[in-house]
Amino acid sequence: MHPLEQTLIRVRQLSPYLKPQLGIPSGTEWRTVADLAPGSAQLETLITATEAYLNTRAPAIVASAILQNYQWPLITTAMAYFLIDRRVPDISAANTLTGYDNERKASRLALLSSRFATLPTDLAANHPDATVLPDTTALRSALRSHIEAHLGMLINHLCIRLGCKPRGLWLNVADCCAGTLVWLMQAHNPSITLSQIEAEITALLRERSSPLNSRQIGLIQLRYGGHCRIVHDRATCCYWYKTDGGDYCATCPHRTSADRRQQLLAHIVHDAQAQATVEEVLV
């Protein structure tokens, strides 16, 4: 079995929301970054569908929403491979396809080839598809560079077509990277500490020359009884509140800090009580 297939099994076990696949997929719902170039029919369809969904034509909001949808399967796939097995698949624009569930929503990533970067200690380091890097710092840098190069193309397309500024869009990318790290590091290792997550976020995102470098990204640690949860303190909005029947989500930056903590704590209490109920039934 190919090393990326081995990791893929563990990635899919980590969360049902992670749906990467290897090889050329079937179907017509797949898009490349080039398909979303300014003036393309695919980009115009995305813009129209997003405007209708969010009830707005504000360029910055529409561009952010399109980017948020596109980047999610790309970033979560790359991060999962990196965190689980210290492997970084080739997520370059030329080697990926993004699968859309409808005119607006992306949920899947296909890796067209099985190239990957890894460490000398990896048992798959001698595989012909492997590029061996000297250490974790170099591997993390490769991950960052892949994300910047791929999503930089889409950000450029959106800025040209919609006339928005790139800095706000890059903050969306940094937010997604940080949020994915917080989520997957806890899913992979429930005993992970706040300082360990902070260190990983700093190492990946706080590179001085990187467009992902932002001090607006933070973490919230909440405790209830014996339960502890670390949550990404988002700097950007998902705009759910603009949809029909939508509202501000629990981590929405439009909420006050105190309101966010209260909302998140309520979720922890609910989950803890539900778990206690399950345990009582099992006993």
- Domains of the chain, by residue range, sit at 3-215, 217-282
266 or 177, which is more confident: 177
Q: Bigger pLDDT: 237 or 268?
A: 237
Q: Which ranges of 118-193 would DSSP assign to H, the alpha helix?
A: 136-162, 166-188
Place of tokens 């080739």: 90
How large a percentage of the chain has pLDDT more than 90? 69
Burial zone of 91 (CB within 10 Å; 0-12 exposed, 13-18 middle, 19+ buried):
buried
Q: Which residue is associated with the tokens 């790309």?
A: 74
pLDDT at 272: 64
CA dihedral 207, 212, 215, 220 (to 10 degrees): -110
Q: In whole angstroms, how far apart are CA 95 and each of 34, 175, 245?
A: 12, 24, 38
Helices marked H in 56-113 — which ranges?
Answer: 59-85
Architecture of domain 3-215: Orthogonal Bundle (1.10)
β partners of residue 97: 110
pLDDT band at 154 (very low <50, low <70, confident <90, very high): very high
Cβ atoms of 219 and 182 closer than 8 Å: yes
Q: Is the pLDDT of residue 257 over 90?
A: no
Backbone conformation region of residue 106, classed left if phi is above 0, alpha if psi is from -120 to 50, else beta: beta
Structure tokens, 91: 């997520």
- The answer to whether 243 and 49 have CB atoms below 8 angstroms apart is no
> Which pLDDT value is given to residue 19?
87
Give per-residue pLDDT as tens, 187-221.
999 899 999 999 999 999 999 999 999 888 889 88
pLDDT of 242? 87
Per-residue model confidence (pLDDT) at position 142: 98
Q: 0.85 cut: is pTM over it?
A: yes
Q: Please give the average per-residue pLDDT across 20-28, as a whole number.
A: 90
Average pLDDT over residues 23-27: 91
Phi, psi for 250 (deg, rounded to 5): -60, -35
